Amino acid sequence: MEKQTVQLRIKELQDLLNQYNYEYHVLDKPSVPDAEYDRLMQELLKLEEEYPEFRTSDSPSVRVGGTILDAFQKVEHRTPMLSLGNAFNEADLRDFDRRAKQAVGENLSYVCELKIDGLAVSLRYEQGVFKQGATRGDGTIGEDITENLKTVRSIPLRINKPLTLEVRGEAFMPRKSFESLNKAKLENEEEPFANPRNAAAGSLRQLDPKIAAKRNLDIYLYSIADLGETGVVSHSDGLDLLDDLGFKTNPERKRCATIDDVIKYIEEWTEKRPTLDYEIDGIVIKVDSLSHQSALGFTAKSPRWAIAYKFPAEEVMTKLLDIELSVGRTGVVTPTAILEPVRVAGTTVQRASLHNEDLIREKDLKIGDTVVVKKAGDIIPEVVNVMVDLRTGEELEFSMPTHCPECESELVRLEGEVALRCINPACPAQIREGLIHFVSRNAMNIDGLGEKVIAQLFKEQLIANVGDLYKLEKEQLLQLERMGEKSVDNLLKAIETSKQNSLEKLLFGLGIRHVGAKAAKTLAQEFETIENLQQASFEELIAIHEIGDKMAESVVAFFEQPEVTILINELKERGVNTAYKGPKPVNTANIESVFAGKTIVLTGKLEQLNRNDAKSEIEALGGKVTGSVSKSTDLLIAGEAAGSKLAKAQELNIEIWDEERLIQELKK
């Protein structure tokens, strides 16, 4: 295919995909099936990979996530992103109305918008092309999260007019995305996000944009920071302009002629709030006229022409029917409140975690109590307190058991821990939870082996440890409830595929205490095979950067267990890979370079080098690039506008180079 033809086809695909993306994510009116969109995207990705010179910064291919970042750069907002004052009741709203009218006269109107519970961001466009996105930060200085924001499909990479402007909006995670994300986290025995706001913020602050791309974030734009020569004279006109430019704005906004209309709007959405597919925590009220806004001005922290009405946290009373105990993979016994079903913030709540015995004592909980329940962050059910005055005398004291509710082994409280723990390695609950962890996404990633299937296999005594997963046969599985031939074939194929995983997946799946996914990869890279790791001493382990005393002790203790040796031998016999397959860490011993064996930090803006390229070159020459300055840092490379890291390096007397010196040394 001739280059000119390729270039034209790439442009055609980009335009088509941008159009389909706008129809789906902004207008909510898709014109083609998902399969067609995916087919065109794959064609574009392939062509851009073969002909990178034709890839543009506003290509829809950037939405899948780009290169991993080292750190976020600081961004100074040209127009400060101020916070809003709060109103909590009708009196506060009428007081706001009175002050505004005293300043500008009676003839004013308001615009009401739903207050999305997300992360405020600023987007800068140059000649109509998205150039930079940043967090609010402290209102003056934010963080550059451009690459992550490019993965939010409702953010246009090119707007409908070649304007240079800065717009503000609220990035958020829809309820369905949040529920799906937390379900996956729980399956992987990871801490779930407390609420969609934290999830959105956490997603947009990932150094790997591919993670943000998988989180299905959305955005509503709510203002133009610098209207310039747009001709806009009111806030409502500004929102209409955003629509015309191809941005996504909230369709539920309303222009209100009086404060009574504002209060009516608030009452309406207080009632309708649970029907939304995203979280809101209030209503934002803004004076509509820009001339009135200008006359009202600002305080040091917030505009005088806007206010945020905050919804009160919904708290309801219900009965504490029982306290149920569960045993996790590591043996921790967790109490859970079993509640009389009650509606809280739009959903029925029947259970709430009580975390540990100390919390039960602190709240003075008794079975049969009338308790107050709310949703922390409007998401996670939480017992707030006890209605002591409503006690009848029939309530029952609760005390944590002395023995495991699953295996009857004596429970212990390890030094420095709040939790009670079962330390019996043969405890059925721990084995079951360990199996669930082993097959989870971040471990062996065996699709089709969810909690229910594992529980069923365990109950039918088809599996007792992770090695048994690789002995399962088709005839056995077909005897199980809800197991058809196709699902069994898919499951056995997924189990077979998992045998090829790299060592770090297996290590994480084995559930060695204190060894998370990152540490598992570090160990796999360092020792390369599980046999080498089995023979590693405590001293060899703590010599590795990021491996501390506790983790080293845990690894040694784990591999000293005879049953672990038997299990690993069994896995190897079944064909499970026990070697590291990823890129090998650089061996600095054989490298003659000024960087070899040194810990190096890059900070500030590099003018001639791409930061990731600089990092790769330094690491290829035996250096280790980290993100923060400490006493172990050997060298700081300071680019333009280097800030606190430079100051700290000077304070610690760390050697400092500029970019020119770095380039000279890389050329040697």
Q: Is the dihedral of CA 209, 212, 214, 219 positive or negative?
A: negative
Encoding tokens for residue 624? 């280790």
Taking the C-alpha atoms of residue 447 and residue 96, their distance in angstroms, rounded to an integer, is 56
Largest CA distance in the chain: 87
Encoding tokens for residue 343? 């509606």
Angle formed at CA 446 by CA 41 and CA 566, multiple of 5 degrees: 145
Encoding tokens for residue 632? 């172990």
Report helix, strand or coil for 412: strand
Nearest alpha-carbon partner for 136 in 164, 113, 168 = 168
**Residues 504 and 524 sit within 8 Å (Cβ to Cβ):** yes
Q: How far is CA 495 from CA 243, 435, 443, 533, in A?
A: 49, 13, 12, 24
Report helix, strand or coil for 391: coil
Q: How far is CA 465 from CA 460, 469, 497, 534, 571, in A?
A: 13, 8, 19, 19, 11
Looking at the DSSP assignment, which residues form a beta bridge with residue 636?
601, 656
Query: What residues are labeled active site?
Result: 115
Taking the C-alpha atoms of residue 464 and residue 443, their distance in angstroms, rounded to an integer, is 18
Q: Is the dihedral of CA 343, 346, 347, 352 positive or negative?
A: negative
Instruction: Centre a 10 Å sphere on the Cβ of residue 479 and count the other Cβ atoms it contains.
Output: 9
Encoding tokens for residue 323? 């306290």
Angle formed at CA 361 by CA 430 and CA 351, multiple of 5 degrees: 55
